[in-house]
Every structure is written in structure tokens, then in C-alpha cells.
A and B are shown apart, each in its own frame.
Chain A
Amino acid sequence: MCLAIPVKIVEMRGKQDDFLNPPVAVVEAEGAQREIRLDIVDRWPSPGDYVIVHAGFAIRTLSPEEAEANIELMRQMAQGQRQGDD
């Protein structure tokens, strides 16, 4: 049930707070376009942003800075470079 891989938003459709025309993001995954609901996403994304999707709903908008910080910390720890890590 869990699509763990972040997907890229190519287009936004619909409106915030409009139940008849709910906001959706169009994403590209496995070569097909899908509409993803944004009702429960933590931060409002823009086209070009990546989101984590679960059961057709975006649950998290990723930021490149956070991704960079995450991998950087991991690399430092792997090298034992982080202070207080040993």
C-alpha cells in the first residue's frame, strides 16, 4: 500500500478548500500520469516539487535542502566524522 518513492509534480489542478473541485497535483510515476490529492499534505507544493504519496494522497512535500542535509549527515556518520559520534 505504501509507495515509498517520492514523485515529481508536473502540474497543479483544482482549488484549495473547494470540495467540488478539490486541489490535485498531477504526478508522473512509472511512465503514467496520476492525479494526487493534496487534502492532507503538510506543505503546499508547486510544480517541480517532489511529494511522498500514500493511497492517492500526498503526505509530505520534500525540500531539496532537507534531502541534502539528510544524506550529508548519513555520509558524515558513515565516515565517523560527526562529533560525539564515537
Chain B
Amino acid sequence: MIDERYSAPYKDKKLVQAIASRLNMFQERPMRFMEVCGTHTMSIFRHGIRSILPSNVELVSGPGCPVCVTSQADIDAMIGLAGQPGVIVATFGDLLRVPGTKGSLASAKARGARVEIVYSPADALKIACANPDHDVVFLGIGFETTVPAVAAALLEARSRSIRNFFVFSSHKTMPRALHALLADPELRIDGLLCPGHVSTIIGAKAYEPLAETKNVPCVIAGFEPADILQGIYMLAKQVYEGRHGVENCYSRAVTWHGNERAIKVMERAFEPCDAVWRGLGKIDSSGLAISPTLSMHDASKHFGMWSQTTVTPDPRGCLCGEVIKGKKRPPECPLFSRACTPTSPVGPCMVSSEGSCAAYFRYSTPCRQEIAEQQIP
């Protein structure tokens, strides 16, 4: 049941139009903003936000799709795990069809590997309880929004001595990656539309060093059309006024300090480690490894096969790395909608519903564009 109070007002056509028209005040110079979060990318397409923006405002997608930024080496390791005897792999559905160097989790499953789709790490724990004679490995991808949930499952596994439950941690933290991304002189970004629910956990304060050291405006926004437009408006206003600070227009879900309870749980189960991101390469302390006190549930220790910093080449011809960095738009990839489609994806950005290639594909042909436009609130 969805309460009108929390979402309907933010879809209000009049409000959306009023904000959009105020954006026209800032037309003097071109502005390029990055929407960091994959859920924003989806929402921007679904609501046809681009078509109501003034022509001087450009939106590029960033590194906020968890599946997309997972390194090829980690994807290969996950597929490798699925082939092990006596192992059940539990995963979020959008990892299933991501192409590895050889095959995918889906093809491993078709060959008889036990791969279970779960909605929550708690469900993976239930599978472990129900299958005591199997090792159950949860494939941990995602950012600060997801990590506390995985942490809670790990802590529960330890207290209840569920010894056959493991987590393969490919988790990543967002602010570090944004620092690395903005250090790239080729990337011209005038502002960051910061993720909504990552910020629910880490708080608005997490972006302060970024805004200060990189001189980049940071605005946190929710996911409804008015939320996103308001976020873009506040970014444009900061640019216009020559400011670069952190502003929060998703105050119903995000506070300055974040969800301290979740952060505590996360810190009990994980500690920072270096990690390789697709497109961005290795970034110091941008990953999360399972804490030594929980090493009995750490799949990388138990199966001893890889580390988060291994580098394996990306699929041939795939420009996901450039797409993730906001340097290329999906249609600029020669494989886009030819060799690479959602039914036969070449790279992860075409698999995940949060990936920009998948979003572009879904909404880019003329009739699809029309549908998207009809949905403009």
C-alpha cells in the first residue's frame, strides 16, 4: 500500500512544470550534470525528464549501477563459484545474465549449477538453513544501501552458527569512487545529482569533502519527477551563483548524519579494502572486505581463489567502462542495439535494469520515446 503523502505529490504535473520553468532562468551556459545512481537513471528515462530540460542542461549517467561497476574478474569469480560441487549460489536477479569471460551465472545454471535468485541476503540465509549439506554463497554486490543488510545477515549467521553461509564481497563505497572519477581532467562535470538511498545510509555530510576539494556542487535527490527536477534546479542554481556545496532536497529520507544504526552494523561486519571498478580501475579503500572476526563466512577465504584487485579484460568491443564514467553515451558504442541488446547482452550495462545501455535501449526507439513522453507527468 502506497501512501499518497510520500509519493503522489512529487508526481504532480503542475509542480513539475513550475520547477522546469524555473530552470529556464539559468540558460547562459551549458551545464553537464551526472546522475550518480542507477535508480535515478531509470527514473529519468521512465518519466522522460530529459525532454523537459532546457537545451543547455545535459545529464550523464554515472557509476551507480552496482552490477555495471562490478569488475570482470569478480564476475568470473562468481561464475566460478557457481560451478563448484556442493555449492548453492544465491544472488540478486540482475547479476544472472551478466556475461563473464566464459558464460554467465545463467548458463552455469542451465548446465546444472544451483543458482538461486533472492530478493534479500536474509533469504540467502534461509536457503543456508534449509540446505545444511551445501555451502550457500551470497554474491554481495552493491553500495552503502545494500551493505548494511548483508552485514546484518553475516552477524546473524555468526550468532546462530550457520556455518554453511558465506558471502562473496564485491561491495563498494560511493564517495571514494566519486573522488576518483572527478580527478579525471577529461571529465567535465558541473555538478553531481547524488544518490537518494545511498545517502539515506551515509548522510548528506559524506559529500562535503567532495564538494570542497573538487569544487563540485552536490545535491541529493529522491526518485520522483519533482524530486529529480528539483535536484537539477538546485545544481543549476549553484553553478549560476558560483557556489559548490552539499544540498539535500530529499529531506524526507536523508539526514545530514545518515542512518547511524545501519553504519554501525556495517562497520561490525566489513572493513575498507582496495577494489577494482569496471571503467574506473583500482581505487584505494573503495571496496569492503568481510571483517576478520567474520572470516569463517568469507567466501574468498573459504574458497581461496581470488582477490578484489585482480584485473581481467572487459568483453571485447564493450564500452561499459566509458559509459560508467560518463564519457560515452550508450548509442556511441558500435555494438549498441546491434550485437548488444537486452536479450543478448555483451556488457553488464545492457543487463541490469539500472544500467544506462539497458535504459537507452528500452526508451530510445521512436515509438518507445513516444510512450516515455506520454508518461511525462
Specify whether A and B are partners: yes
CB pair A59 B201 closer than 8 Å: yes
Task: Give the interface SS of chain B, mostly helix, strand, loop or mixed.
Answer: helix
The chain B residue sitting closest to A31, CB to CB, is B1
Interface: B5 (CB within 8 A): yes
Interface: B149 (CB within 8 A): yes
CB pair A2 B197 closer than 8 Å: yes
Q: Which of B116-124, B296-304, B338-346 contacts A (4 or more CB under 8 A)?
A: B116-124
Q: How large is the interface on A (under 10, 10 to 19, 20 to 34, 35 or more residues)?
A: 35 or more
Interface: B92 (CB within 8 A): yes
Known pairs A56-B119, A71-B10; A6 contacts B226 (CB<8 A):
no
Known pairs A55-B149, A59-B200, A70-B252; A6 contacts B3 (CB<8 A):
yes
Interchain CA distance A28-B201 in the complex, whole Å:
23
B-facing residues in A5-32 (Cβ within 8 Å): 5-8, 19-20, 22, 28-29
* Least Cβ–Cβ distance between B1 and chain A, in angstroms: 5
CB pair B1 A78 closer than 8 Å: no
CB pair A19 B156 closer than 8 Å: yes
CB pair B251 A69 closer than 8 Å: yes
Interchain CA distance A2-B2 in the complex, whole Å:
16
Interchain CA distance A42-B199 in the complex, whole Å:
13
Interface membership of chain B positions 135-148, coded 1 if the CB is closer than 8 angstroms to chain A and 0 otherwise: 00000001001101
Interface: B160 (CB within 8 A): yes
Interchain CA distance A69-B27 in the complex, whole Å:
29
Known pairs A1-B142, A1-B146, A37-B149; A50 contacts B262 (CB<8 A):
no
Interchain CA distance A80-B159 in the complex, whole Å:
54
CB pair B197 A29 closer than 8 Å: no
Interface: A83 (CB within 8 A): no
The chain A residue sitting closest to B65, CB to CB, is A1
Interface: B249 (CB within 8 A): yes
Known pairs A2-B39, A6-B7, A67-B5; A42 contacts B260 (CB<8 A):
yes
CB pair B253 A62 closer than 8 Å: yes
Task: Give the interface SS of chain A, mostly helix, strand, loop or mixed.
Answer: mixed
Query: Which of A22, A39, A62, A80 lies at the interface centre, i.e. has the most chain B CB atoms within 10 A of its CB?
Result: A39
The chain A residue sitting closest to B265, CB to CB, is A40
Interchain CA distance A40-B121 in the complex, whole Å:
13
Interchain CA distance A1-B94 in the complex, whole Å:
8
* Least Cβ–Cβ distance between A52 and chain B, in angstroms: 6
CB pair B122 A56 closer than 8 Å: yes
Interface: B77 (CB within 8 A): no
CB pair B6 A67 closer than 8 Å: yes
Known pairs A52-B253, A56-B122; A2 contacts B145 (CB<8 A):
yes
Known pairs A4-B223, A62-B253; A57 contacts B149 (CB<8 A):
yes
CB pair A50 B119 closer than 8 Å: no
CB pair B149 A54 closer than 8 Å: yes
Known pairs A39-B265, A66-B251; A60 contacts B123 (CB<8 A):
no
* Least Cβ–Cβ distance between A54 and chain B, in angstroms: 5
B-facing residues in A30-80 (Cβ within 8 Å): 37, 39-42, 50, 52, 54-57, 59-60, 62, 64, 66-71, 73-75, 77-80
Interface: B196 (CB within 8 A): yes
B226 / chain A contacts, CB cutoff of 8 Å: 74
CB pair B148 A59 closer than 8 Å: yes
CB pair B19 A55 closer than 8 Å: no
Known pairs A5-B7, A52-B253; A78 contacts B262 (CB<8 A):
no
Which A-B residue pairs are the 6 nearest by beta carbons? A56-B120, A78-B18, A40-B262, A39-B152, A57-B149, A70-B252
- Give residues in A with beta carbon < 8 Å to B: 1-2, 4-8, 19-20, 22, 28-29, 37, 39-42, 50, 52, 54-57, 59-60, 62, 64, 66-71, 73-75, 77-80
